[in-house]
Structure 1
Amino acid sequence: MEARERIFKYQGLGNDFVVLDRRGSGEDIDAATSRWMCDRRLGIGGDGVLALLPSERGIARMVVHNADGSIAEMCGNGLRCAVKFLVDDSGQTPGHINVETGAGVLTCYPSYGEGGVVAVDISMGPARLVAPNLPSGATGQPFLDALVPGHPPLRAYAVSMGNPHMVLLDQPLEDASRLGPLLEHHPSFPDRTNVEFVRVDSDGLTVVVWERGCGLTQACGTGACASAVAAVLAKRLPADAWLRVTLPGGDLSIRVPADLSDIRLRGPVAFVFEGVVATPSGR
């Protein structure tokens, strides 16, 4: 007999997710289920699936399943979607909530309007320049404005927001579809990497992201954070100021402290629909 499950669809700047509330069962999904749910022709359609599981450290634990079935440590747009679901479902209007993620427990500050939560300000935690999922994991030295091995003359910044990022400042945005698939699998990044193609503007950044496990997406919250970190490290934009980061789906606001201790991300979120799906056998 087919298993049936209630699903919820949300989007943040066009980065869309299927949300599963599994706090009751505590059971996560497998890679095949994630791939089917994200399939825009045979399934529900989405850039990822957010499984909400029980947590002793926050209101829930969010597991991010990419469209290819892999798992991401963190997703800024996805976390805003999870926060909207969790808060609106509670019927309360808290000033903040804590959500456990693969990048640690993150504090989220909802903003309210018609229909409940309309935006979320997230304390994303520190940006790390030395981490196991970056080239610095092997060398112990930050990879900053460095030549990308095997791809001269590309220069990049490697930043971890829990998940890995290769940030290419001043790289043509239209190169994302051509170079993204190659750089995602760069051997210097042991867990693959997200790749940001960044144009530095006088008042902010314009960014196109090739997301690890998803490809081109309308927006990427951690990618926006990593891009802002790189621009601040390059002294192209100021620290400790709210910076505009424009992605294909719209604008996020990012604040990077000089010591990189707690990156802040602010952006909109919206409910799309809810329904019941019959999971195919074997899923």
Structure 2
Amino acid sequence: MSTSAEFFFKYHGLGNDFIVLDRRQSGADIDAEFSRWLCDRRQGVGADGVLSLLPSDAGMARMVVHNADGSIAEMCGNGLRCAVKYLVDNSGEKPERVDVETGAGILSCAPGYGVDGVASVELSMGPARLVAANLPSGATGQPFVDAPVPGHSGLRGYAVNMGNPHLVLLDRPLEDAGRLGPDLERHPGFPERTNVEFVRVDKDGLTVVVWERGCGLTQACGTGACASAVAAVLAKRLPADAWLRVTLPGGDLHIRVPSDLSDVRLRGPVAFVFTGVVPDLPGR
């Protein structure tokens, strides 16, 4: 046990679970090895990722998202809701808006309150980009929209940047996620790897299973839900400027995609799970 104990805080958004470390005082982030060990569900605490909260001059904190494999994600919608709940519930205040600095920029968050503090959060997820360096469009300059996926006969997809890269596959069987996800995550068209969404379009929304870059199959993915809704709007399968239901294995999120893709909005629940003392990494 460390002589100076550090506490961790476990949260989840629709079953997508995170360890929150408040390092705003020290300003010291964690490394990939420590992230992998903390996320290990047998030998560590267990989580889909670690949210390191660091000092910020532009927001209440700077959130760094460490995936379970030690890689860093630019943005995570479920993780951001968890970070907002931690920050607000431990502030002694009930603000109407919180700004958090992320790898995708400064994002505005509106907490919704219940008997146990923040119960849900509406997030400004920023713009959906169709041309970005970490998408196939980075090389071609042209949006990858309803385009054939090279190397996968009969597969067509939408490449969307929600601060992080996504390959959205409309009308693909949800059960294909575990089979195709690992290969598509590392598709050469995505230089930083990609999240992959398998989407069923329903009359009143979407049902989605996400293979997350650096995590694998998870119960929910906020940026994946947003990218899926963007693809459905681009395909004219669902309307723009309306709140759309996106059902993931862990439950429902609601996404609003503006017609100009300028500021995608996400609404969803968040919950505290437990707290504890950060153990020492074996061998250190």
TM-score (norm 2): 0.98
Distance in 1 (alpha carbons) for counterparts of 2:49 and 2:117: 23
What secondary structure sits across from 2:131 in the alignment?
coil
What secondary structure sits across from 1:112 in the alignment?
strand
Distance in 1 (alpha carbons) for counterparts of 2:251 and 2:225: 11
Counterparts of 1:12-91 in structure 2 under 5 Å?
12-91=13-92
Distance in 2 (alpha carbons) for counterparts of 1:253 and 1:55: 29
Does 1:123 pair with 2:124?
Answer: yes
TM superposition shift of 1:278: 1.8
Contact kept? 1:5, 1:279, Cα under 8 Å: no
Contact kept? 1:255, 1:263, Cα under 8 Å: yes
What secondary structure sits across from 2:95 in the alignment?
coil
Contact kept? 1:57, 1:105, Cα under 8 Å: yes
User: After superposition, what is the alpha-carbon deviation per residue over 1:205-248, rounded to whole angstroms, capped at 9, x for unaligned?
Assistant: 00000000000000000000000000000000000000000000
Contact kept? 1:2, 1:281, Cα under 8 Å: no
TM superposition shift of 1:2: 3.8
Partner of 1:280: 281
What secondary structure sits across from 2:64 in the alignment?
strand
Partner of 1:136: 137
Contact kept? 1:2, 1:280, Cα under 8 Å: no
Aligned-pair Cα RMSD in Å:
0.9
Counterpart code for 2:100? V
Partner of 1:161: 162
Partner of 1:265: 266
Counterpart code for 2:150? P
Distance in 2 (alpha carbons) for counterparts of 1:91 and 1:226: 34
Counterpart code for 2:169? L
User: After superposition, what is the alpha-carbon deviation per residue over 1:96-137, rounded to whole angstroms, capped at 9, x for unaligned?
Assistant: 010000000000000001100000000111000000010000
Distance in 2 (alpha carbons) for counterparts of 1:238 and 1:269: 27
Where structure 2 has 5 or more consecutive residues not aligned to the other structure, the ranges are: none
Where structure 1 has 5 or more consecutive residues not aligned to the other structure, the ranges are: none
What secondary structure sits across from 1:95 in the alignment?
coil
Partner of 1:173: 174
User: After superposition, what is the alpha-carbon deviation per residue over 1:73-94, rounded to whole angstroms, capped at 9, x for unaligned?
Assistant: 0000000000000000001000
Partner of 1:103: 104
TM-score (norm 1): 0.99
Runs of 4+ in 1 over 2 A off after TM superposition: 1-4
What secondary structure sits across from 1:44 in the alignment?
coil
Distance in 1 (alpha carbons) for counterparts of 2:129 and 2:169: 17
What secondary structure sits across from 2:41 in the alignment?
coil
What secondary structure sits across from 2:279 in the alignment?
strand
Partner of 2:232: 231
Distance in 2 (alpha carbons) for counterparts of 1:50 and 1:280: 17
Identical columns (%) = 79
